[in-house]
Amino acid sequence: MIKVAMTVSLQPPPPHQQLQQQQNLPVTAHLPAYQHQTIQVSHQQFHEPLYLPQSVFADVSFPAVIYGGRGVTPQMGVAGAIFIILGIYLMVFGFRAFRPTLGVCGFITFGIVTWVGMANSQPANGYINEPITLIAVPAGLGVLGAILYVFFWNVSIYLVGGLGGLALALYICCWKENLLIVQEVARACFLVALPFFMACITFFVERYVILFSTSFVGAYIFILGVDFLAHTGYLAGIRSILDRNPLHRVRYTITRTVIAMLAVTIVLFLISLAWQYLYNRNRHFGVNIVPVKAAPPPAAEEAGEAEAPPAEGAGEGEPPKA
């Protein structure tokens, strides 16, 4: 790997930041010019990561830090393509197909949970073959989640509503640079309460919750996949919520491009919701309702139908012979 050697001279930090600056972080990205500091760069080849004080990252987030590399890496391209394809499927056919939709939601849920666990527990020296590991492991467990969701459909159907609640909670929090809910405890409670609420009301209004979840999750991950390729900074908001590893500090900045991504998410959601509602008017999730036609009335017996013949040997007005 080609890295750069940097000599950074900063002004003496305030006393309350001296302890914080004792913790060093690995740097693999180029640093722009900062005020009150001098950076000297010499192109060399190193086999060990370069370390700089954590305070250097207090004000700016670099695309290489947010997306795990400069430019569109092959790993980010694959992940972005998968998210775009799954998002289109959920927006168009999410409600109509039963088991495939359960499988897609299981893949997304297990993949996200695995990535969050790996990102938060990542050591300072990283994982072995890290760019591939952080995609392959969540994808592998995502396949396992898809299988479990398909077989245990009577339980996973409520988790689809919970996934919609989680996507909605993340979307709401990202409408502010320092996140809409600033306190971490309150934000964590919100991220847990909304999915739980959506999963519970699925029991009572299943049709409408599944319509909402498939439409909103599809729009959300579609825009997320586009951001993997466009690098607008939209991902920084999600990482600042789900990735609390001090080695991965990022700052979420709402630019015009990020606002456009947030707005397009709502537009795609409304279009998908209207389409799926009209397209599946006579359907429930996993059930196709076919109106039953009324059975035709039975044919009337013909008038003058011949009566049954009397018993043999019985005359009119006489008892039958023995």
pLDDT at 128: 87
**Residue 317 domain-assigned?**
no
Amino acid identity of residue 62, one-letter, is F
| Local confidence band at 209 (pLDDT 50, 70, 90 cut-offs) | very high
Model confidence at 98: pLDDT above 70: yes
Instruction: Tell which wins on pLDDT, 46 or 181.
Output: 181
Tell me the two tokens of residue 16. Answer: 């309350």
Q: Is 41 helix (H, G, I), strand (E, B) or coil?
A: strand
Claim to verify: residue 158 and residue 243 sit in the same structural domain = yes
Q: What is the DSSP string of 102-170?
A: HHHHHHHHHHHHHHHHHHHT--TT--TTHHHHHHHHHHHHHHHHHHHHHHTHHHHHHHHHHHHHHHHHH
Residues 94 and 126 in one domain: yes
Residues 195 and 82 in one domain: yes
Same domain for 28 and 53? yes
Provide the b/e sequence for 46-62 (b: ≥16 CB within 10 Å). Answer: eeeeeebbbebbeeebb
Per-residue confidence band for 318, with pLDDT thresholds at 50, 70 and 90: low
> Do 277 and 165 belong together in one domain?
yes
Q: What percent of the chain has pLDDT over 70?
A: 68
Whether 267 is covered by a domain: the verdict is yes
Please tell me the predicted confidence (pLDDT) of residue 129.
Answer: 86
Q: Which residue has the higher pLDDT, 205 or 50?
A: 205
Judgement on whether residues 49 and 74 belong to the same structural domain of the protein = no
Predicted local confidence at residue 190, as pLDDT:
96
Amino acid 55: pLDDT: 40
Of the pLDDT bands very low, low, confident and very high (cuts 50, 70, 90), residue 288 is low
Q: Give residues with Cβ within 8 angstroms of 272, minimum separation 6.
A: 90, 91, 92, 94, 214, 215, 218, 219
Count of alpha carbons within 13 Å of 232, Cβ hemisphere only?
Answer: 18
Assigned domain for 116 exists: yes
Structural domain count of the chain: 2
Q: What is the pLDDT of residue 313?
A: 53
Between 296 and 260, the more confident residue is 260
Is residue 201 assigned to a domain? yes
Residue 137 in any domain: the answer is yes
pLDDT score, position 64: 67
What's the pLDDT tens digit per position in 125-139?
Answer: 888 888 889 999 999
What is the per-residue pLDDT for 310? 58
User: Would you say residue 36 lies in a domain?
Assistant: yes
Q: Is residue 106 part of a domain?
A: yes
Q: Mind listing the pLDDT tens digit for each residue in 244-279?
A: 888 878 889 899 999 999 999 999 999 999 999 999
Residue ending a domain, choose from 42, 59, 76 = 59
In a domain, 232, yes or no: yes
Burial class of residue 9, CB neighbours in 10 A (0-12, 13-18, 19+): exposed
Check whether 6 has a pLDDT greater than 50.
Answer: no
Out of 49-58, 70-79, 120-129, 172-181, least confident range: 49-58
Same domain, 38 and 68: no
Residues 42 and 128 occupy one common structural domain: no
Phi, psi of 246 (to 5 degrees): -65, -15
What confidence tier does 24 reach under pLDDT thresholds 50, 70, 90? Answer: very low
Better-scored residue on pLDDT, 286 or 38: 286
pTM: 0.72
Burial class of residue 40, CB neighbours in 10 A (0-12, 13-18, 19+): exposed
Domain extent for 226: 64-288
CA dist 214 → 20, 146, 304 (Å): 43, 15, 64
Together in a domain, 49 and 196: no
Query: Is residue 265 domain-shared with residue 138, that is, in the same domain?
Result: yes
> What mean pLDDT is reported for the chain?
79
Q: Are residues 17 and 139 both part of a single domain?
A: no
10 lies in the same domain as 82: no
The pLDDT-based confidence of 299 (bands split at 50, 70, 90) is low
Q: What is the pLDDT of residue 295?
A: 63
pLDDT beyond 50 at 59: no
Q: What is the pLDDT of residue 258?
A: 94
| pLDDT at residue 300 greater than cutoff 70 | no
Point out the domain boundary residue: 27, 59, 91.
Answer: 59
The pLDDT assigned to 229 comes to 92
Percent of the chain with pLDDT over 90: 54
